[in-house]
Amino acid sequence: MNLYESIYVRKSVRHYKTEELSQKTIEELKNFIDHLEPLFPEIKIKIEILNNISEKEKLKGLFTPNAPYYLAFYSEEKEKHDLNAGYILEQISLYMTSKGIGSCFLGMTKAPKKKEEDLHFVIGMAFGIPKGEAVRHDYEANRLSMDELCVFKEKPKAWVNEILEAARLAPSSLNSQPWRFVIYENRIHVFSKKPTSTGKSWGKFNEFNFGVMLANISITAEEIWVDLDLIKLNNITHKTIPNNQYIISILVKQ
């Protein structure tokens, strides 16, 4: 299973076996992390693996599951650093899924310590061998339909539909699915549904959610051999769509 295939079966895992992963598996994970591409390479980050079995290192916070391992994600506080974090951690989560390792993003956690003075803790992730199944079945995917997420202005090309399905399946905080799409033949304009007063908690992680979704899009584009540009268009920015905010546009590179 590769990262693209993992998009269709990944699920959030909150119950883990108290088992250590092999040293080979940990080293392969570290190697993957060292070589993945961030969305914004200029933003300095640090990812730490915490071993809750042999080292008793644990992330603490509200609703934090008891897992054998945790990732602690640290970053410079720069514009779009949460977007960058989501983009990176989704790739790691999909890699874990491809190896039979379960994972779960942890928004309401505190880091045990700072790694460096100029970095701050952004978010955590639990991971390990799941107690149940490591993958999700189609009927378990609680996602909005394409018609609920999209406004079709033109009939899209085949690659657009592939990209949209990968985006639709992206996980989000409280399953908020904040993304909305305006679709043309060969481009997608991405909008964010503004949170209501009852949705303020997921709004806090909105930028992270979009980073996760954009990772799914980038992985799918690579799989189907489509070279994409992610750009912000001024003529779209000034258009008003009720209860939505323009985020970015996805176009084929010319």
Beta carbons of 212 and 229 less than 8 angstroms apart: no
Q: Which of 89, 105, 128 is the last residue of a domain?
A: 128
Q: Which of 99, 128, 157 is the last residue of a domain?
A: 128
How many separate domains does the chain show?
2
Q: Which of 102, 128, 154 is the last residue of a domain?
A: 128
Beta carbons of 209 and 86 less than 8 angstroms apart: yes
* Residues 77 and 176 occupy one common structural domain: no
* Residues 205 and 168 occupy one common structural domain: yes
* Residues 110 and 180 occupy one common structural domain: no
Q: Is residue 180 part of a domain?
A: yes
Q: Could you give the count of Cα atoms lying within 13 Å of 122 in the half-sphere of its Cβ? A: 30
Q: What are phi and psi of 23, to 5 degrees?
A: -60, -35
* Residues 31 and 113 occupy one common structural domain: yes
Q: Is residue 133 part of a domain?
A: no
* Residues 192 and 90 occupy one common structural domain: no
Which residue range(s) make up the domain with 162? 142-252
Q: Could you give the count of Cα atoms lying within 13 Å of 10 in the half-sphere of its Cβ? A: 30
**Interatomic CA distance for residues 39 and 19, integer angstroms:** 33
CATH classification at residue 11 = 3.40.109.10
Q: Is residue 205 part of a domain?
A: yes
List strand residue ranges (DSSP E) for 58-209, in order: 60-61, 69-75, 102-106, 109-110, 120-128, 150-152, 179-183, 187-193
CATH classification at residue 229 = 3.40.109.30
Residues in the chain: 254
Counting beta carbons within 10 angstroms of the beta carbon of residue 49, is it exposed (0 to 12), middle (13 to 18) or buried (19 or more)?
A: middle
pLDDT tens across 136-167, in order?
776 567 899 999 999 999 998 889 999 999 99
Q: Is residue 135 part of a domain?
A: no
Q: Is residue 73 part of a domain?
A: yes
pLDDT tens across 107-143, in order?
888 876 666 678 999 999 999 999 988 887 765 678 9
* Residues 119 and 160 occupy one common structural domain: no
Q: Is residue 152 part of a domain?
A: yes
Token reading at 109: 């956690």
Q: pLDDT (tens digit, 0 to 9) for every residue of the chain, 254 residues total?
A: 999 999 999 999 999 999 999 999 999 999 999 999 999 999 999 999 999 998 888 888 878 999 999 999 999 999 999 999 999 999 999 999 999 999 999 988 887 666 667 899 999 999 999 998 888 776 567 899 999 999 999 998 889 999 999 999 999 988 889 999 999 988 999 999 876 655 454 567 899 999 999 999 999 999 999 999 998 888 776 566 778 889 999 998 75
* Residues 110 and 173 occupy one common structural domain: no
